[in-house]
Structure 1
Amino acid sequence: MSIQTEKLFCAEQIEVPLELPEILKAFTKECIRAQPENLVEFAANYFAQMAQTGDSESNMSIEQFVALRQKFEEIDAENIFVLPRETITQVAIDSGISDATINNINSMGKPEKTMDWREFIVLAISVAAENMISAFELIFMTFASQEEPALPTNFFLLLVGFLISRDPSKPPEYMDQLREILETENDGAFKDQVTFEEFAALPIAETLR
């Protein structure tokens, strides 16, 4: 597809495609969340993924995220958690995560030779999720289970920290506020563990919708 550079001389010549506002809104959200060092490269990867998959949400399922977590757990039997980028990338490819998604994740922040595989999964979830609260729900679905839907509160905060650290729209004190709420809300009922339903009912969750 060629890019037309025909000059516009009047407003009547401008026809905005109906889907353009939503596409730009979604792209802008990802830029703000990822804070890429190379915006042009990030944009190329982002729109390449869109062209390849159409809708990232429909092509990245909870089953993929769970399978990805299970593969990392098999490799990381000693619970070191930090693995070489090359290993993480290969596991992601084997789990069906697209190259464009992997490139988007790898372009977030400063490139490092190693990475916490749990952070990689959380960032993959952030790419697939429609909004932040949906990302939180997918985090619970990926790292918890139907038999035990609650996550240990400290582990939940660790996973959220991976997500929030890439989201400049959240103030630095957000994590401290969230920790305090979980430790004190409902007479400390969530001090040790919390489910998504319990978290979603808290007032702080409204800021994520």
Structure 2
Amino acid sequence: MPVPDVMFCAQQIHVPPELPNIMKQFTKAAIRTQPRDILQWSYGYFSALSKGEPLPVKERVEMLVATQKNDTGLTPGLLKVLHKQLSKKETVSLEELQIKWKNLCLPMEQLRSLLQLIDFVDGVEWMKFFALGCSALCGSIVSSMKQACEILSDDPEGGAARIPYDTFAFLYSYLAGMDKEIPEGEAESFLSALKEQVAHKNYMVGVADFSVNRMD
């Protein structure tokens, strides 16, 4: 016997009261983030939302510069998202990093290239990976440190982009140690002078506090 057609009316369909706002926020997040794979990103978004974790969402839409192509992989905005998601742990598991990376629709080839530069047998030291991410974005140590300050700073956009001296020193020392063109001892000398320079600023380092000539 065929099943009779069932007529539904508005009163029969229960719509959770929080659903419209959830979908509204999801739509705004997708527009800001512009994921290349909306299904993969959506999985990461709702997975993080259900667990109360930081969402894989950019603060604003990133405009490509003239030298960029459509498929550029990691961007400052995406690196900042990763930092919000993973920085609470000093060391993150390779699996967790891979999941977050994949949910941001970033190319796995780029992740593998970065991991070749770091020891991750017992997990990935997040701040070292973050430093490598800045280097991958910018190339030179000067530009990498400026990028790090802009991503990590709590200052308003366009401001001094200050970060604690200890954080700056750790990132700079790590990148300088990997740069064969920087003579041994030069990084320590530079950081010592910088520490004196920012002592009156409660040891906060901003982009304007370090000289490009001294870091080159």
Q: Which range, TM-score by smaller chain?
A: 0.5 to 0.7
The root-mean-square deviation of aligned C-alpha atoms, in Å, is 2.7
- Report how far residue 190 of structure 1 moved: 5.6
Is the counterpart of residue 118 in structure 1 residue 132 in structure 2? no
Aligned equivalent of 1:95: 104
The TM-score normalised by the length of structure 2 is 0.58
Count of aligned pairs between the two proteins: 146
TM-aligned CA distance change 1:162 to 1:98, over 3 Å: farther
Q: Secondary structure at the match of 1:165?
A: helix
The TM-score normalised by the length of structure 1 is 0.60
Is the counterpart of residue 83 in structure 1 residue 92 in structure 2? yes
- The gaps in structure 1 that reach 5 residues or longer are 1-53
Is the counterpart of residue 194 in structure 1 residue 205 in structure 2? yes
Of 201, 204, 207, the residue aligned with 2:214 is 204
Of 136, 141, 145, the residue aligned with 2:154 is 145
Q: Conserved in 1, the CA contact under 8 Å of 2:128 and 2:171?
A: yes
Of 168, 179, 197, the residue aligned with 1:185 is 197
- Report how far residue 57 of structure 1 moved: 9.5
TM-aligned CA distance change 1:69 to 1:180, over 3 Å: same
- The gaps in structure 2 that reach 5 residues or longer are 1-67
Aligned equivalent of 2:59: none
- Report how far residue 166 of structure 1 moved: 2.0
Distance 1:103 1:135 in 2: 20
- Report how far residue 174 of structure 1 moved: 2.8
Q: Conserved in 1, the CA contact under 8 Å of 2:162 and 2:204?
A: yes
TM-aligned CA distance change 1:189 to 1:178, over 3 Å: farther
Q: Secondary structure at the match of 2:184?
A: coil
Q: For 1:83, give the aligned amino acid.
A: V
Aligned equivalent of 2:114: 105
TM-aligned CA distance change 1:101 to 1:180, over 3 Å: same
Q: For 1:66, give the aligned amino acid.
A: K
- Report how far residue 65 of structure 1 moved: 1.2
Greater helix proportion: 1
